[in-house]
Amino acid sequence: PSTMSAWWNFGSLLGACLIIQVITGLFLAMHYTADTTTAFSSVTHICRDVSYGWMIRYLHANGASMFFLCLFIHVGRGLYYGSFTLLETWNVGIILLL
């Protein structure tokens, strides 16, 4: 299309951020304890004792911020270029957002 620009990359980045969130979330869930007395010590255990646990934790935390940034830019691009007139595509995106 004539509106093809660098803004079109954010849909792919959005998918990559989502995949990173799911994978790092699964790895963190393997070592996390939800008990109120041991929750903080399990986070400390992840950062200190798990191999590359500190990196998994920071990837998960910063990946969430990048996910929402890419989400807002992706939706903003759709609004700017008038993609809401393509009802099927826009409605699928709204359903995924909900």
Query: Of 60 and 8, which is predicted with more confidence?
Result: 60
Residue 57 CB neighbours (<10 A):
19
Residue 49 maps to a domain: yes
pLDDT tens, 16-57?
A: 999 999 999 999 999 999 888 999 999 999 999 999 999 999
Spatial separation of the C-alpha atoms in residues 8 and 1, rounded to whole Å: 11
Nearest Cα neighbor of 61 from 72, 47, 49 is 47
**CATH code assigned at 56:** 1.20.810.10
pLDDT for the residue numbered 3: 64
pLDDT for the residue numbered 40: 92
Q: Which domain holds residue 15?
A: 10-97
Spatial separation of the C-alpha atoms in residues 43 and 80, rounded to whole Å: 42
> Do 25 and 60 form a contact (C-beta atoms < 8 A)?
yes
> What's the predicted TM-score (pTM) here?
0.80
Residue 5 maps to a domain: no
Spatial separation of the C-alpha atoms in residues 87 and 36, rounded to whole Å: 47
Count: domains in the chain: 1
Residue 4 maps to a domain: no
Residue 86 maps to a domain: yes
pLDDT tens, 69-92?
A: 999 998 888 888 888 899 998 898
